[in-house]
Chain A
Amino acid sequence: MHSASLRFTGAMLASIVLAFVFLLIPLSDTLLLWRPEWVALAFIYWCLTLPDKASLLMAWFAGLFIDIIFGSILGQHAFTMIIVVYMSLRLLPRISPNILWHQYIVISLVLGTYLLLNLWIMAATGNNPATWHYWLPLLSSLIIWPIYSWVLSWFRVERGRFDVF
């Protein structure tokens, strides 16, 4: 059942902190439009690889921090981030998590929902971005995913290889 585990205690938290570092890197305006959804992708990664360790509470707090950093209304990203985790966990039994295009299906569905819900909340509270550029992060997230998941794989270890049981 457990073919992989965390590299060290708190590895998941460390990976989320890394995602926040990526999020906070200052970029030029054109690059900013293409910024992948680092934090959401990190949570999707953990849901696909270690579903029993994925934590709704951690996602909620991470979302709250994004709200602070973005200056969006408090609870917006917290709400959408737990949707990310819940949807990924629910989609997981329906796919084979090791196949890349299966992963792509999950990411497109989950991130699409994430972005759409954020857009709705922003529009309802009067901050509608009103441009197609809003959807560019979805594309860039899909492009960066193979590299990013390889980076994140450092935070876990495969156990099965050396287990005799």
Chain B
Amino acid sequence: MNDIIDNNPQSSLPFKFMLMVAVSAVIMAVDYRGTALQPVRTALTMFAYPLKYAVDVPFSTYRYLSDYFTDHKKMATENRQLRTTLNIYAARNQKYHSIASENRRLREQLNAISAVKEHFLLAEILSVSGNTFRRRVTIDRGANENIYSGQVVIAGKNIYGQIDSIAPNSAEIMQITDTDHAIHVRNERTKSSALAVGTGKTNLLELKNIEANVDIKEGDIYVSSGLGQLYPADYPVAVVSSIAYNSGDSFMKVMARTLTDFTTTHEVLAIWQPKKEAITKDIEPQSQLKKNKQKEKIKKKQKTVNTKPLPKKH
């Protein structure tokens, strides 16, 4: 009798199995409904990060070495080209400075509040592949560098995506081509707007809500409209690659190629945009939590200011 029991150590298996199915179901429901499990996700991400990093090391080393051993001649020409572009940019920058100072003067005359400079942080993408049908990447900067969830990320001068979840030393970016992602855009030529929704495919967006009579051509460039209140306005997003219309439909099926090439981008810029409340002071970028706390403090102060003078009147 004892032998039978000893030989069957997995006899509690169905019970364990049912229990764990129930636990998983509860977790899924909670995670789907809200953000209560975000700390768990963050903690587990911290465990997964070393593994991701270790797997990436050979690949980043290969990139580094192949850069290191490129042809000297090629490097020289590249260097010359870069110097030329640098000079061009320096000249343009000079122009920008004069415009900026002029802008400041004009703003002073108008008694307008001065615009605050945007802060940037360069982050490197750990080139790890996640889910095949989602477009998410991990970067090597995180909450320690004040990265916050919902922050805008750009590559070059084009929009790349937004920060989704953060851990102390890493963060996950949702690219604009992710199926969960949508960005409001405007046609640079005709100023008509559309919603650019991710397809889950590399470098491909679908422009939704474009009516059949709208003036649109292949090669039209769409820029961010700034209407979603997340992305800054007038950053290039995508160029129209194909237009299809089935007679009888009210909308056209328009596909657009992103201006960022997601397969070759290895560095991205995270931006801190000045919030409207923060415009009065040139404050350092802070984590979202701190910002929220500060907002509460300001509100409390305002309340006390509002309530104190009232008794004096009576």
Q: Given the complex of chains A and B, what is the CA–CA distance between A68 and B59 in angstroms?
A: 22
Q: Indicate if A148 sits at the interface (CB-CB under 8 A).
A: no
Residues in A neighbouring B25, C-beta threshold 8 A:
75, 79
A1 CB contact (under 8 Å) in B7, B24, B54, B172: B7
Q: Indicate if A144 sits at the interface (CB-CB under 8 A).
A: no
Interface pair B56/A26, CB less than 8 Å apart: yes
Q: Indicate if B44 sits at the interface (CB-CB under 8 A).
A: yes
Number of interface residues of A (CB under 8 A): 45
Q: Given the complex of chains A and B, what is the CA–CA distance between A79 and B17 in angstroms?
A: 10
Q: Given the complex of chains A and B, what is the CA–CA distance between A126 and B133 in angstroms?
A: 12
Residues in A neighbouring B28, C-beta threshold 8 A:
73-76, 79, 121
Q: Given the complex of chains A and B, what is the CA–CA distance between A16 and B165 in angstroms?
A: 25
Q: Which residue of A lies closest to B44 (CB)?
A: A68
A70 CB contact (under 8 Å) in B7, B30, B131: B131
Residues in A neighbouring B98, C-beta threshold 8 A:
none
The contact string, 1 if C-beta is below 8 Å from chain B, for chain A 82-104, is 11001001000000000000000
Interface pair B37/A69, CB less than 8 Å apart: no
Q: Indicate if B169 sits at the interface (CB-CB under 8 A).
A: no
Interface pair B202/A29, CB less than 8 Å apart: yes
Residues in A neighbouring B78, C-beta threshold 8 A:
none
The contact string, 1 if C-beta is below 8 Å from chain B, for chain A 43-78, is 000000001101011001000110011111111101
A105 CB → nearest B CB, Å:
21
B176 CB → nearest A CB, Å:
15
Q: Indicate if B225 sits at the interface (CB-CB under 8 A).
A: no
Q: Given the complex of chains A and B, what is the CA–CA distance between A17 and B23 in angstroms?
A: 24
The contact string, 1 if C-beta is below 8 Å from chain B, for chain A 119-150, is 00110011101010110000000000000000
Q: Given the complex of chains A and B, what is the CA–CA distance between A51 and B23 in angstroms?
A: 23
Residues in B neighbouring A72, C-beta threshold 8 A:
131, 134
Residues in B neighbouring A82, C-beta threshold 8 A:
17, 20-21, 24
Q: Given the complex of chains A and B, what is the CA–CA distance between A37 and B17 in angstroms?
A: 21
Interface pair A71/B136, CB less than 8 Å apart: yes
Q: Which residue of A lies closest to B46 (CB)?
A: A68
Q: How many B residues touch the partner, as a band?
A: 35 or more
Residues in A neighbouring B180, C-beta threshold 8 A:
126-127
Residues in A neighbouring B52, C-beta threshold 8 A:
24, 69
Interface pair A56/B133, CB less than 8 Å apart: no
Q: Indicate if B31 sits at the interface (CB-CB under 8 A).
A: yes
Residues in A neighbouring B179, C-beta threshold 8 A:
127
A-B contact pairs, 19 of them (CB 8 A): A35-B129, A35-B132, A52-B10, A56-B20, A69-B128, A70-B130, A71-B134, A71-B136, A71-B164, A73-B31, A79-B24, A79-B28, A86-B13, A122-B133, A127-B179, A129-B133, A129-B200, A131-B133, A134-B132
Chain A interfacial positions (CB closer than 8 Å to B): 1, 17, 20-21, 24-29, 32-33, 35, 51-52, 54, 56-57, 60, 64-65, 68-76, 78-79, 82-83, 86, 89, 121-122, 125-127, 129, 131, 133-134
Chain B interfacial positions (CB closer than 8 Å to A): 7, 9-10, 13, 16-17, 20-21, 23-28, 30-32, 37, 40-41, 44-45, 47-48, 51-52, 54-56, 59, 127-134, 136, 164-165, 172, 179-180, 200, 202, 263
